Each structure stands twice: as structure tokens, then as C-alpha cells.
Amino acid sequence: MGSARRSRRIGLLAAVLVGVVLLAGCEGASGSAGTAPSGRTTQKTGPPSTAPVGSTGQKAPLDGLLDMGTQTAYQTGQPFPVTDPSSLDAYAGDFSGIVVNESWSQLEPTPGVEDWAPLDQSLAAISAWNAAHPATPLGVKLRIFAGFSAPSWVVAQSGPTVTIATRGGAKTVGEWWTTPLRQAWSAFQHALAARYDPNPLVRAVSVSSCSSSTGEPFVVSGAISSQRALAAAGWTPQLQEACLESALSDYSGWTHTQITFAFNPLPTPSGPDVAFMSQIMQACAGSHAAGAPECVLGNNDLSASAPLGKAGPAYSEIATLAPTRATGSGVYFQTAGPSVDCATMSVATAYHATSVELWPPNHGYLGYSAVPSATLASWNRTLVSGGAVTC
């Protein structure tokens, strides 16, 4: 990479940090990505399920094992059901939290009009579980899918649709890199934060800005058919980068709640752009020190061999950045598949993980149910305490 490109990246990193700081106090402004328009309304809403946090600031981090929940509804284009934490009845104390998955289209079915009922119902179900298990309550991590679950109204505004290949088959998505969709997503995120950032049950939020085939911002379908369709629609790596440079400001409304960011080298026609990924990781790592939300570095492809695979550069950057972080925000991972073993968890703690999302038993796979409860409890304690898993 030449000196001009390095200079551009350094300038963009500074711009990201400055923009996040400025936007943190601009939730009521309108007009640009990273701000929420005035006049938004909500429907079918009740009060948040728990009381607001006090004046102490940041919520306690959501450390430990997390049930990542089922994401089948996103893959099949169906509404997410109410989260059912009963699968954790036999694992009380083995997990610190659960991921609540929702789709953007469910929560904002019409422009600027939110329907919080699906999310409120899931939070109420977890609150009820906590009331029944007061000694081992669960915290919540939110993951709101955009991609091909973006509302039809915003897809229509963004331009022609694009068909891309995913693991679940061909899917139609809007042009997520365009200004109308980016602004609508940012405004929605600020509305979401205004409602749930004060709720102490919600302890973490997953960044999914600019995502397409999954909930991971840096994942773009590499299938040849997808790349041709995207190029024909006007997508370029530079436009993806411009979108990703705004991701942190999209989440600037989460002033009390950690945001978690999944990283991978950005695919481009000339090969993975590791340098760009590293610049955004540095912005994430330094966001809280700059007065912005606390951003947790992460990756969703954890396995025993992950540091040696395609995601290896992300692990290398985590190893560099995590030990020097003044905030102590930690690192999160999600396992690459349903299976998890000691070697996988050993990699997680070697790369400074404080939380790991595990797949629940579902659709014929065992997930964490294949692991003895005592082992899960030990892993959970190790993540919370900051120790290392040894095999």
C-alpha cells in the first residue's frame, strides 16, 4: 500500500473518532448518517422492562458465555419469534447472557415508525427467567439484522435490488452502501439506542452496519455471481469502506452500553484489505478513550485453527490491540459452528476473550448441549475472571 493510501487511512481514522464524539450528543438532529431525525414515532410500545441506569455511566460488561440464539429466521426471511430462554433452565449459572436476535424490518415496518413489541416481548421473557433464577440472571446482547431483512420501504428507496449467494441460497438485498439506506439505518439505530440504552438488562449491542449476507459488517459474498451482480449495481470496495467508516457513528447513541464489532479482512478484487480492517479496529479500540461508546473487538469465526485461517489477520490485530486498551473492554468471539471444545476455548482466552457466544441446540445439532454443564460453568468463570482455559 502506497504512502498516499496510508495517509488517507490515517485521516479517515481521525475522522471516525472525531465524528463519533460529535455525534454522541446529536441524537435529535436530522439529515445525515449517524443522526436520528426528529418526529419519529413508535407503535405498540410499553415501558422498558427495567429501570434506567443511574448516573454512574457505563453498564457492567457482559462477560462470560452467551447463548447466541437461533438465527434461522434471518436466513429464511421469517419474523423472529419471541426469545425463549427456557433452553438454559438446565444451565443456570453456566451462562452469563443470551443474544436476542431481531430483524430491522420487524422493528421499523414503516419509515420512522418503530414497533418495539417483538423486542419488548423477548426482553420480558428474559426478565421472567431472571426472576425465576435470581442467583444466576442473564444479561442481554442485541443483534439486529439488516442485510436482506431490511424493510421493503428502505430497499425501494436505495435503488434496484441485488441478488447475492449466501449459505442459505440466493437472497435479494437492497443497495446497502447507498445514502438512503445508510441514513435510514443510522436513524433507526439512534431510535433503538434512545429506547434501550437506559435499560440495564441490555448489556451489549452487536454492530451490523453495512452488512449484507450475514450480521457481520466486513463479510461480503465472495461468490463470482455475487461479485458480478454487485459490480453491475455499482458496488465497489471503496463504497463499502466509506460505509464501514460510518459504522461507529451509527452506534454513537449507545452511551451506557458496550457495542461489539466483528472483524474480518475486507474482500476486494485484488485480495483481502487487511490494512483497512486494521484501521477500523484501531478506531474501535480507541473509541471509548475518545469519549464515544465502548467498542469491543471481535470475530465470529472462532475455532481451534481460526488464527491460522482467513480470519487470522483479525486475530493478529486483536493480539496487538487488546492488551494495550485502557478501557479494559475485553474481546468477544462467536464460534464458527455448533461444535465447541477445550481447544477452541483455549484460543479464545489466549486472544483475551471476555465473552464467547455459543450455538444452542437447534435443527439437529447439539451445540453447547454436547458439553458437560460443569465444563461450561468452568469456561464461564474463566471468561469472567480473565483467566486462561487450559486443556
pLDDT score of 337? 94
Q: Residue 295's pLDDT band (boundaries 50, 70, 90)? A: very high
pLDDT over 70 at 252, yes or no: yes
Q: What is the pLDDT of residues 368-378, one digit of tens each?
A: 999 999 999 99
pLDDT score of 26? 34
Q: Average pLDDT of 125-149?
A: 97
Measure Cα distances from 343 to 68, 180, 297 in Å. Answer: 20, 44, 21
Q: Average pLDDT of 150-179?
A: 89
Q: Residue 23's pLDDT band (boundaries 50, 70, 90)? A: very low
pLDDT over 90 at 360, yes or no: yes
Name the CATH architecture for the domain at 59-385: Alpha-Beta Barrel (3.20)
Rounded CA-CA distance 159/178 in Å is 8
Q: Average pLDDT of 22-31?
A: 33
The percentage of the chain sitting over the pLDDT mark of 90, rounded to a whole number, equals: 69
pLDDT over 50 at 176, yes or no: yes
pLDDT score of 181? 95
pLDDT score of 44? 46
Predicted TM-score (pTM) of this structure: 0.87
Q: Which residue would you say has higher pLDDT here, 9 or 245?
A: 245
pLDDT score of 3? 36
pLDDT score of 327? 55
pLDDT score of 238? 94
Rounded CA-CA distance 16/7 in Å is 14
Q: Average pLDDT of 18-47?
A: 40
User: Beta-strand (E) ranges in the chain?
Assistant: 41-43, 64-67, 97-103, 113-115, 139-145, 162-166, 169-173, 202-206, 258-262, 295-302, 331-335, 353-358
Q: Is 275 helix (H, G, I), strand (E, B) or coil?
A: helix
Q: What is the pLDDT of residues 75-127, one digit of tens each?
A: 888 899 999 999 999 999 999 999 999 999 999 999 999 999 999 999 999 99
Rounded CA-CA distance 154/150 in Å is 7
Q: What is the pLDDT of residues 305-323, one digit of tens each?
A: 999 999 999 999 999 998 7
Q: Residue 213's pLDDT band (boundaries 50, 70, 90)? A: confident
Rounded CA-CA distance 354/332 in Å is 6
List the chain domain ranges: 59-385
pLDDT over 70 at 135, yes or no: yes
The cell numbers describing 207, all together, are 454492530
The cell numbers describing 23, all together, are 455525534
